[in-house]
Amino acid sequence: MTTIAAAQTRPGTGVVIPLCTPLTPGGEIDSPSLRRHLDHLINNGVDGVFALGTSGEFGFLTDRQRVAVVRTTVDHVAGRVPVLVGVSDTASERAAAQVRLLMGFGADGAVATAPFFAATGPAEIAAHFRRIKQELGELPLFGYENPPRVNGVSIPVTTVLDLAEDGTLAGYKDSSGDLDYLAALLTGRRERGLDAFRVLSGSETLAAESLRAGADGLVPGLGNVDPAGYVRIYSTAGVNDAVCDAEQQRLRELFAIVAIPTHTQMGDSSRALGAFKAAMKLLDLIDEDRCAPPSVLYDDTDRARVAALLRAHGPSPRGALSGTDRMVAS
């Protein structure tokens, strides 16, 4: 595991937050809220931010909105921490077009999943990442393992390691939630001598275990709500495991916000992203908890359930529940 000081010198180590994208009531990018949220994350010690990932609703945003997110993020971060940008798309040339659209604003690296919708195998996946890297040039490319969002299929470990070995991938975000898969990546990295290849865990609930297994960092969506909690896990894993495990347990209990019984029937993406944004609004990190269409939106009953979990397990201090939000939470 790298130190936090080392993490600050290059992208892909430490605690990297996959940014939620604040929206106005009219569905536009809420740049003032995004800037406020970025300051909150950096002030709480995160080592990087990742715009336009799953938590950032990249699949629901227009190109114009994506540009606004990246431009605002890079401008406001102003070099304080590395900025990674998601360029995922269904096919290689579409992802290459995202590189041309989004990577000219000064970001420090790109992140991409395997191609999705069409069924692909290892050969197509490898060609996809190599095409993105060709378009990206010298900037680092991070692969993104997220089977539930990409055809329900994992990228083979051997494919990942081959792409690391030939210089295509500088790092990898593993959001599989499968510790055996993570262990295979880490073992393969060691056996091939790929010391510079960064492996990060995207699991909110297995962060401590992932770090102790040898992961270089964390990319937790729940870090939008409680960045300091994940910074504490990162700084104590393998050093003070009693503190680390207590913090991990608290964050597991807080992560229950993504599984509340919502008042209106909705899919898992609406429920999870709605929970993150509801919590962020309750903590005064963003102005609105709106998600992009076609998400089903939270109502006051849902917000009250999120607020109850925030009071019980949320960040310390226990948040800024005020005004009407406090009345909803009570």
Does the predicted TM-score (pTM) go above 0.85? yes
Please report whether residue 185 resides in a domain.
Answer: yes
* Number of domains the chain is built from: 1
Half-sphere exposure of 115 (CA within 13 A, CB side): 23
Q: What is the pLDDT of residue 222?
A: 98
- In sequence order, the 6+-apart residues with CB closer than 8 A to the CB of 77 are 38, 42, 49, 83
Q: Is 2 exposed, middle or buried (0-12, 13-18, 19+ CB in 10 A)?
A: middle
CA distance 285 to 224: 9
β-bridge mates for residue 142, sequence order: 111, 171
Residue 195 and residue 165 in contact, taking contact as beta carbons nearer than 8 Å: no
- In sequence order, the 6+-apart residues with CB closer than 8 A to the CB of 128 are 91, 92, 95, 112, 114, 115, 120
Please report whether residue 270 resides in a domain.
Answer: no
pLDDT per residue of the chain (330 residues) written in tens, 0 to 9: 333 333 344 788 999 999 999 999 999 999 999 999 999 999 999 999 999 999 999 999 999 999 999 999 999 999 999 999 999 999 999 999 999 999 999 999 999 999 999 889 999 999 999 999 999 999 999 999 998 888 888 999 999 999 999 999 999 999 999 999 999 999 999 999 999 999 999 999 999 999 999 999 999 999 999 999 999 999 999 999 999 999 999 999 999 999 999 999 999 999 999 999 999 999 999 999 999 999 999 999 999 999 999 999 999 643 343 333 332 332
Q: What is the pLDDT of residue 316?
A: 64
Please report whether residue 251 resides in a domain.
Answer: no
CATH number of the domain that 213 lies in?
3.20.20.70
CA distance 194 to 244: 28
DSSP states along 259-328: G---SS---HHHHHHHHHHHHHHHTTSSS-----TTPPPP-HHHHHHHHHHHHHH--SS-----HHHHHH
List the alpha helices (DSSP H) in the chain.
Answer: 4-7, 31-43, 63-77, 92-102, 122-136, 157-165, 179-192, 207-213, 227-236, 241-254, 268-282, 300-313, 323-329
Query: Strands 14-18 and 83-86: what pairing?
Result: unpaired
Please report whether residue 271 resides in a domain.
Answer: no
Identify the CA nearest to 189 among candidates 178, 202, 200, 204: 200
Please report whether residue 254 resides in a domain.
Answer: no
Identify the CA nearest to 315 among candidates 236, 232, 238, 235: 232
Residue 90 and residue 125 in contact, taking contact as beta carbons nearer than 8 Å: no
Q: What is the CA radius of gyration of the chain?
A: 19
Please report whether residue 120 resides in a domain.
Answer: yes
Q: What is the pLDDT of residue 254?
A: 98
Range of the domain at 201: 4-242
CA distance 240 to 311: 26
Structure token digits, residue 214: 């040898």
Please report whether residue 183 resides in a domain.
Answer: yes
Q: What is the pLDDT of residue 117?
A: 92
Residue 146 and residue 54 in contact, taking contact as beta carbons nearer than 8 Å: yes
Please report whether residue 266 resides in a domain.
Answer: no
Structure token digits, residue 227: 């960045």
